[in-house]
């Protein structure tokens, strides 16, 4: 506050000195007027201007007396009003600065709130919940205390969503959140970390019974039916429990093991369960793989493969889609469909996406250096598109690999946009502004909203392979594909058909006016080295610049 007072006093001093300058000018003008007036009176009375005449005029002329007082009036009035004006101006600037500052602060607070909270329930989102667990682990470690994490799953959420739609199912999630917050000791310890999974952090537990009792209370609280649109909706819940430090020492391991416990809880009679290492043998492979994925990148077990995209009309090689592969030492080759959803559930996906972007950009830069003009397509997951840092991550990778944004096509899916349209749209717009192009992947499989499609700055629409594979034999698929191509062209988008497995399908697509084909008929996804060899002998050649 002292600082503010000093600032105001300084401002007043500066402004006052400026206004005082104007007051001095006023006084100077008044003095000059007196001299001229005295000289004129002297001339009028004596016929010439002399000191005697001026002195006489000064003593005898009443009008001059009044004029003589004016500099003093000006001086005093100038000083007085300058002080007032300067003070008012200073105070005004000060008030406005304060207002601007508090407005900026509240905007900042709002932005950080939306980045850390879930829009539907207002609960902390995954990032904030993980952060809180990390803090809790630090203090539990220093004080030798225990803590538990409970994952609460709304098991029949998909049914509820499919039957009641998004708005009503969001209302149910909100009610679930409220009931959970009322069961736990601290309202801050509840989060929503996935579509149908809530998380609860229980601090300072004495033994395992504390968490089990809480799990029972949670289930009792979620037992009574929920009311939405005058309907009674029953929620079936399961609860998985892990304890720190017994089951893991970091948040990722703990949440992963809570996931295993949740899986076993769903199979149990009680609907809740504490993690036990023996569960790993019974749980699906994906649950145990989750913790291994973290090291897979460092151990060089991940590879990026490239699948060619060919322009149907010209026969020119248009580009390649980067598809990640995991070569597991024990399980062999693992498809991305198995580990990407897994990575999305933990914070691994950011790490994975950044790594894929780096590899793909490096390889694309290599093609361009050799004069081979290819567009590189990279898949982004839903969680990437919720990350406000994504544009900066991509800009950083692009700069370090010397790639131009116009060489890149970022593939996004309908469902990844629909889960949080506003936030996603903002991130997409930022990247678009930086020169990156977007493609809507797996078109036709999600809950499409044409209204949103129009809002997105898209360049390409990719028809999902489930409509393309059987195109020449299924009349239904043929109608869908043809209509989608027309729709895309009406929206000024280029169309890629994925899953092209035969010449017949390629010919049909050509008849429909489809722009680009991708599929096993052209080539399976290949390693970078294989892709380069394939390019040398393939019927489809890239555009080459002479450099
Ligand atoms: P997607 O982006 O739709 O990729 C096309 C998938 O179709 C690839 O599967 C590709 O191998 C497969 N495919 C291509 N041609 C044919 C064909 O003629 N017939 C059939 N039956 N399939 C074909 P893949 O590589 O297993 O990838 C599956 C999905 O995993 C991808 O679908 C994409 O959604 C995701 N994915 C792959 N790599 C990444 C990545 O680096 N990041 C993210 N976020 N997702 C990725
Ligand atoms: Mg794709
Ligand atoms: Mg696809």
pLDDT digits (tens, 9 = 90+) for 132-152: 999 999 999 888 889 999 999
Q: How confident is the model at residue 403, as a pLDDT?
A: 97
Higher pLDDT, 534 or 46: 534
Q: Tell me, which fold does domain 285-539 have in CATH?
A: TIM Barrel (3.20.20)
At residue 238 the predicted structure's pLDDT band, cuts being 50, 70 and 90, is very high
* pLDDT, mean of residues 216-229: 94
Please report how many Cα atoms fall inside a 13 Å half-sphere around the Cα of residue 157, on the Cβ side: 20
Ligand 3 mean position, distance from CA 439 (Å): 10
Q: How confident is the model at residue 32, as a pLDDT?
A: 83
Ligand 1 atom 41: the closest Cα is on which residue?
Answer: 324
Higher pLDDT, 46 or 218: 218
At residue 506 the predicted structure's pLDDT band, cuts being 50, 70 and 90, is very high
pLDDT at 346 over 70: no
For 2, residues 6+ apart whose C-beta sits below 8 A from its C-beta are none
CA distance 457 to 250: 40
Pocket test for ligand 1, best of 357, 465, 467, 527 (most atoms within 8 A of CB): 465
* pLDDT, mean of residues 258-266: 90
Q: Which of 18-27, 383-392, 447-456 has the highest mean pLDDT?
A: 383-392
For residue 273, what are its two tokens?
A: 């369960």
Q: What is the mean pLDDT of the chain?
A: 88
Q: Which of 13-22, 414-423, 442-451, 512-521 has the highest mean pLDDT?
A: 512-521
- Ligand 1: residues whose CB is within 6 Å? 307, 323-324, 335-337, 340, 356, 379-381, 411, 441-442, 465, 498-501, 519-520, 525
SS (H, E, C) 263-297: HHHHHCCCCEEECCCCHHHHCCHHHHHHHHHHHHC
CA distance 90 to 93: 5
At residue 81 the predicted structure's pLDDT band, cuts being 50, 70 and 90, is confident
Ligand 2 mean position, distance from CA 354 (Å): 16
* pLDDT, mean of residues 403-408: 98
Ligand 3 mean position, distance from CA 465 (Å): 7
Pocket test for ligand 1, best of 306, 379, 520 (most atoms within 8 A of CB): 379
pLDDT at 546 over 60: no
Which bound ligand lies closest to the C-alpha atom of 337?
A: 1
Q: How confident is the model at residue 2, as a pLDDT?
A: 58
pLDDT at 332 over 70: yes
At residue 516 the predicted structure's pLDDT band, cuts being 50, 70 and 90, is very high
Q: How confident is the model at residue 100, as a pLDDT?
A: 78
* pLDDT, mean of residues 410-421: 84
Ligand 1 atom closest to the CA of 442, numbered from 1: 3
Which CATH code is given to the segment(s) 126-281? 3.30.70.270
Read off the pTM: 0.64
* pLDDT, mean of residues 79-96: 72
pLDDT at 99 over 70: yes
DSSP string across 387-437: -TTHHHHHHHHHHHHT--GGGEEEEEEHHHHHTSHHHHHHHHHHHHHTT-E
* pLDDT, mean of residues 7-33: 73
Ligand 1 mean position, distance from CA 403 (Å): 23
At residue 201 the predicted structure's pLDDT band, cuts being 50, 70 and 90, is very high
- Domain spans of the chain, in order of start: 2-116, 126-281, 285-539
pLDDT at 503 over 70: yes
pLDDT at 447 over 60: yes
Ligand 2 mean position, distance from CA 408 (Å): 13
Ligand 3 mean position, distance from CA 518 (Å): 10
Q: How confident is the model at residue 287, as a pLDDT?
A: 64
Q: How confident is the model at residue 45, as a pLDDT?
A: 79
* pLDDT, mean of residues 194-210: 90
Pocket test for ligand 1, best of 323, 358, 525, 527 (most atoms within 8 A of CB): 323
* pLDDT, mean of residues 92-115: 80
């Amino acid at each position: 506050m002292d600082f503010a007072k000093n600032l105001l006093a300084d401002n007043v001093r500066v402004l006052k000195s400026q206004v005082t300058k104007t007051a001095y000018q006023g006084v100077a003008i008044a003095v000059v007027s007196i001299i001229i007036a005295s000289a004129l009176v002297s001339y009028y009375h004596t016929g010439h201007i002399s000191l005697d005449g001026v002195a006489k005029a000064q003593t005898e002329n009443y009008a001059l007396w009044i004029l003589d007082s004016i500099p003093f009036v000006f001086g005093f009035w100038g000083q007085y009003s300058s002080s007032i004006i300067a003070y008012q101006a200073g105070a005004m600037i000060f008030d406005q600065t304060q207002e601007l500052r508090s407005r900026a602060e509240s905007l900042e607070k709002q932005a950080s709130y939306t980045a850390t909270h879930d829009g539907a329930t207002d609960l902390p989102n995954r990032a904030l919940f993980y952060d809180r667990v990390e803090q809790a682990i630090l203090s539990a470690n220093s004080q030798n205390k225990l803590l538990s994490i409970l994952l609460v799953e709304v098991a029949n959420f998909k049914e509820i969503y499919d039957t009641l739609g998004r708005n009503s199912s969001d209302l149910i999630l909100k009610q679930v959140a409220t009931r959970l917050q009322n069961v736990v000791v601290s309202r801050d310890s509840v989060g929503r970390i996935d579509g149908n999974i809530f998380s609860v952090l229980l601090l300072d537990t004495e033994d395992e019974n504390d968490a089990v009792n809480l799990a029972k209370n949670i289930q009792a609280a979620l037992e009574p039916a929920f009311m939405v649109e005058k309907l009674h909706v029953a929620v079936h819940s399961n609860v998985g429990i892990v304890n720190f430090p017994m089951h893991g020492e970091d948040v990722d391991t703990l949440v992963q093991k809570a996931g295993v416990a949740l899986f076993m809880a769903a199979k149990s009679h009680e609907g809740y369960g504490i993690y036990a290492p023996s569960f790993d043998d019974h749980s699906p492979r994906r649950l145990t793989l989750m913790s291994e994925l973290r090291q897979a990148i460092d151990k060089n077990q991940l590879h990026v493969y490239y699948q060619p995209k060919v322009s149907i009309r010209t026969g020119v090689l248009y580009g390649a889609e980067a598809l990640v592969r995991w070569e597991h030492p024990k399980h062999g080759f693992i498809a991305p469909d198995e580990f990407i959803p897994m990575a999305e559930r933990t914070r691994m996906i950011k790490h994975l996406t950044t790594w894929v972007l780096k590899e793909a950009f490096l390889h694309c830069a290599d093609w361009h250096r050799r004069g081979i003009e290819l567009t590189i397509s990279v898949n982004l997951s839903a969680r990437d598109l919720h990350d406000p840092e994504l544009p900066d991550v991509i800009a950083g990778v692009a700069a370090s690999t010397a790639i131009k944004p116009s060489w890149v096509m970022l593939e996004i899916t309908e469902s990844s946009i629909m889960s949080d349209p506003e936030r996603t749209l903002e991130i997409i717009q930022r990247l678009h502004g930086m020169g990156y192009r977007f493609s809507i992947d797996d078109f036709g499989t999600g809950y499409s909203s044409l209204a949103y499609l129009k809002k997105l700055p898209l360049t390409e629409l990719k028809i999902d392979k489930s409509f393309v594979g059987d195109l020449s034999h299924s009349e239904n698929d043929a109608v869908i594909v043809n209509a989608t191509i027309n729709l895309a062209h009406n929206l000024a988008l280029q169309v890629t058909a994925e899953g092209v497995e035969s010449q017949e399908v390629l010919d049909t697509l050509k008849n429909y006016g489809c722009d680009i084909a991708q599929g096993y008929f052209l080539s399976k996804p290949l390693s970078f080295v294989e892709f380069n060899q394939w390019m040398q002998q393939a019927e489809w050649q890239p555009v080459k610049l002479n450099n």
